[in-house]
Amino acid sequence: MNTEVNLCGIKMKNPVTVASGTFGYGREYSEYIDLNKLGGIITKGTSLKLRPGNKPPRVCEVQGGMLNSIGLQNPGVEYFAKYDLPWLRKFDTKIIVNACGSTIEEYVELCKILNTLDIDGVELNLSCPNVKAGCLAFGTTYEGVKEVTKAVRKVLDNKPLIVKLTPNVTNIVEPAKGAEDAGADGISAINTLLGMKIDIEKRKPILANNTGGFSGPAVKPVAVRCVYQIANAVNIPVLGLGGIMTGEDAIEFMIAGATAVSIGSGNFADPETSIKTIEGIEAFMKKHNIDDINSIIGTVEMN
């Protein structure tokens, strides 16, 4: 069986990666799973400078998943390049860095640095606030996505560029087209849905930041729909994520049009979720006599 996939020039041994923000830089999970078995690791969101993140509480469980408002806490790209990347490079897996910023200038400066590092690709996180535009999100409009992607593309000239989109829009196809038109090599979908949980005794939100990103099994139908819509609207590969817990979930995303998938909150529920997902994909292929995993991509037959 062939489980290899090509995600916009990133050739992976299997279609399973781990999603940004749920796997750190891999050190903790390496105590539980063999990182060599993963198709790829998408790092924690990395910024130009150190970010302390939001004040706690920053995480809470909800029915069907969890809410988080970490605030992109990370040590900054220089620390990553000096300490985390050399450690990650010991493993036989692809390394994709999730890049985040607050302004276009920050994205550009960050990606100038990433362009020089020994990494396999960049996932551009466009759910961060655009401070100069009144804290609006870059990723909600065609023009917004196109503007920042075009600026980054100019300096990121030798790494595949995957743009990660928010589902908190009316029509996710428009931002996806903006990314493609600006030169992105792939689309990553979806990021978390915006949610809130209230402590009914205190009558106050549980998260210190009031709202947070909703992820987990309950978001999967939304994510599958978004992947299907994007895959049928653009001509670049889609990395699908949102609520994947099993091999069957991953197969569903691929049939919808995803070339590869990412495991997010599932890593918290069970550190071995990614490995079990890889095994589940292989079991599905054996059961249905599928020789090449690529043959199922985008094969959904709509009613």
Q: What is the pLDDT of residues 212-235, one digit of tens each?
A: 999 999 999 999 999 999 999 999
- Pull the structure tokens for residue 177: 């087209």
- Pull the structure tokens for residue 282: 């292989």
pLDDT the model gives residue 137: 64
Distance CA 254, CA 248 (A): 10
pLDDT the model gives residue 139: 86
Contact in structure between 150 and 174 (CB atoms under 8 Å)? no
- Per-residue pLDDT of 170-191, as tens digits, reads 999 999 999 999 999 999 999 9
User: Which one of the listed residues 8, 100, 111, 128 is annotated catalytic?
Assistant: 128
Which amino acid is it at 181? D
Distance CA 29, CA 23 (A): 7
Low-confidence residues in the chain, pLDDT < 70: 128-137
Nearest Cα to Cα of residue 243 among 19, 15, 6: 19
pLDDT the model gives residue 143: 94
Cα 219 from chain centroid?
14
**Would you call 128 a catalytic residue per the annotation?**
yes
pLDDT the model gives residue 138: 76
Nearest Cα to Cα of residue 214 among 265, 271, 274, 266: 265
Relative orientation angle of helices 173-181 and 142-155, to the nearest 10 degrees: 30
Measured at the CA of 40, the angle between CA 38 and CA 92, to 5 degrees, comes to 65
Nearest Cα to Cα of residue 278 among 290, 293, 295, 289: 293
Whole-prediction pTM value? Answer: 0.96
| Helix/strand/coil (H/E/C) assignment for every residue in 230-260 | HHCCCCCCEEEECCCCCHHHHHHHHHHCCCE
User: Within a 10 A sphere around the Cβ of 207, how many other Cβ atoms?
Assistant: 22
Distance CA 35, CA 23 (A): 11
